[in-house]
Structure 1
Amino acid sequence: MLIHPQFNPIALDLTRFGIPVQIHWYGITYLVAFGLFLWLARLRVRKPWFADAGWTARDVEDLLFFGVLGVVLGGRLGYVLFYKPAFYLANPLEIFSVWKGGMSFHGGLLGVTAAMALFGWLRKRSFWDVTDLIAPCVPTGLASGRIGNFINGELWGRFADPSLPWGMVFPQSGSPLPRHPSQLYEFGMEGVLLFALLWWYGSKPRWAGQVSGAFLMGYGCFRFIAEYFREPDSFLRDLPATTGLSMGQWLCVPMIVGGALVWAWATRRARPVGSTGARA
């Protein structure tokens, strides 16, 4: 049985030197996520079918700007609407208290989707051409975020069998019993494994929409599995008992179904990404 190391959430405290700045590990994981996106997306635009369609490194930088706005605004609004609508309806000013926590991946996904649609409209590019470019570059950012969750000792897992070698006690949970380190499960599944699969799948020309559909299906399936090991939020603990699924799993169902429909539609429609008209 392991015990969570209880990391200091502040990675660098400059207040000791008279500088009013504290750099948190969570902020660093966001920077790592954005840096990985830039690097990977720049590699993607060098692919012949993207380069021939006119994609450049400058486009990647602009995509990151749009994506950051989508993540922050969509993630916060998603948490407000999906998880605690009654609380925020009664306390609307709390919506802006982002420093107190509360972000939703599914809301962030919707926000990024809207941002990419806006980018495509402004640049006169197909929505699917945009999302097929960025989809394989997203899981590394998710992996970085899960490391941040683990460092902060948040979003811990459900209780585990005491004999589980990697069962971990999270003192901040208020219980001395071992739990699943679900943050690391999600790091491995929706981060590393999903990245490997999508990077491989997207390494050859695909019909427009196929890579995006594969991302939706892949993330939805891996997150759905991880939810069996992740402790539900305290205000949603009755939901699995009454419906059989957690809120995270309910939000994954339309992702999986929608991803499958997008992939099937893209395969049947058979329109090449960009302008190459080729498919390996």
Structure 2
Amino acid sequence: MLMHPQFDPVAIQLGPLAIHWYGLMYLLAFAQFLILGRMRVQQEPFLSLKWSFKDVEDILFWGVVGVILGGRLGYVLFYMPDFYLSNPLNIFKVWEGGMSFHGGLLGVLVALLWFAKSRKLSYFVVTDFVAPLVPLGLAFGRLGNFINGELWGRPSDWPWAMVFPAVDQVARHPSQLYQFAGEGLLLAILLWVYARKPRARGQVSGLFLLGYGVCRFIVEFAREPDAFLGLLGLGLSMGQWLSLPMIGFGIYLIVRTSRS
């Protein structure tokens, strides 16, 4: 079995200024969004619509707002509603952790709806633009989870099972790396290649929802469920239950748009 390297959480120390690995991963995620966005505006239909790099920057700004608000509220509502109902001021203690990807996704979708309305654009034109720019950012996030030794996997006897000493001495799936590879790198390549050719509105968005939902659903079998929730109905985790609507709506979008 392997041993988690137990990285120093501080990536760069400049006098009193400390840059943590997770913060660095966020910076890399934002940077790749801007780099790929600059390339994406040169593709159709965005080239004909005369999109500019300023549009990419605006989408990133509102997307970040959506991620933060939606991610926090999603965690509050999906994972610990009773606790936060009894301790409402704790909702604002984001430094204590507690963010939900699925809540963040809903927050981003609302932010993109606002952007589309303000620019008088079709909603799916905007979401189709954003979809291929997201997975690589997710990959950086999962890499940050691995470096921090958090969101570890279930016990395993596979050859690459890893002990996370901060948790216990049990060999576990390095599920953060599974997610890094699946919903991150693999989905990024698939979406970028798929989106390079003209597609009906909504198809790229549908493929993102389907691809992420399937990857997350599968990896959750190797990921340790949240201790305060455990497994829910049918032996599925909260992450799996929240991924099912993504899979269903992704299939719906792809089928509906292919017939139009």
**Could you say whether these structures have the same fold, taking a TM-score greater than 0.5 normalized by the shorter chain as the test?**
yes
**Alignment gaps of 5+ in structure 1:** 270-280
Decide which of 218, 238, 251 is 1:225's aligned counterpart.
218
Equivalence for 1:168: 162
Runs of 4+ in 1 over 2 A off after TM superposition: none
Deviation at 1:220?
Answer: 0.2
Residue matched to 2:177: 184
TM-score scaled by structure 1?
0.91
TM-score (norm 2): 0.98
1:31 paired residue among 27, 30, 33: 27
Show the counterpart of 1:236: 229
Instruction: Note the 1:98-137 alignment, pairs <5 A.
Output: 98-137=94-133
Instruction: Give 1:203 deviation, angstroms.
Output: 0.7
**Alignment of structure 1 residues 146-161 onto 2, 5 Å:** 146-161=142-157
Distance 1:9 1:81 in 2: 29
The residue matched to 1:234 in structure 2 has which SS? coil
CA distance in 1: counterparts of 2:23 and 2:56, whole angstroms: 21
1:78 to 74, 78, 81: 74
CA displacement at 1:243 relative to structure 2? 2.7
Deviation at 1:209, TM superposition (A): 0.4
The superposition leaves residues 249-277 of structure 1 with CA deviations (integer Å, 9 ceiling, x where unpaired) of: 000000000111111122222xxxxxxxx
Question: In 1, Cα distance between the equivalents of 2:68 and 2:212?
Answer: 19
Measured after TM superposition, the shift of residue 150 of structure 1 is: 0.2
Identify unmatched segments of 5+ residues in structure 2.
Answer: none
In structure 1, distance between residues paired with 2:216 and 2:231: 20
Q: Give the partner amino acid of 1:130.
A: V
> 1:244: Cα distance to partner?
1.8
- Percent identical among aligned pairs is 61
Q: Partners in 2 of 1:244 and 1:181 — Cα distance?
A: 21
How many positions carry a matched residue from both structures? 260
Q: How does 1:196-275 map to 2 (within 5 A)?
A: 196-239=189-232, 242-269=233-260
Rg larger for: 1
The correspondence for 2:59, drawn from 59, 63, 87, is 63
Secondary structure of the structure 1 residue equivalent to 2:25: helix
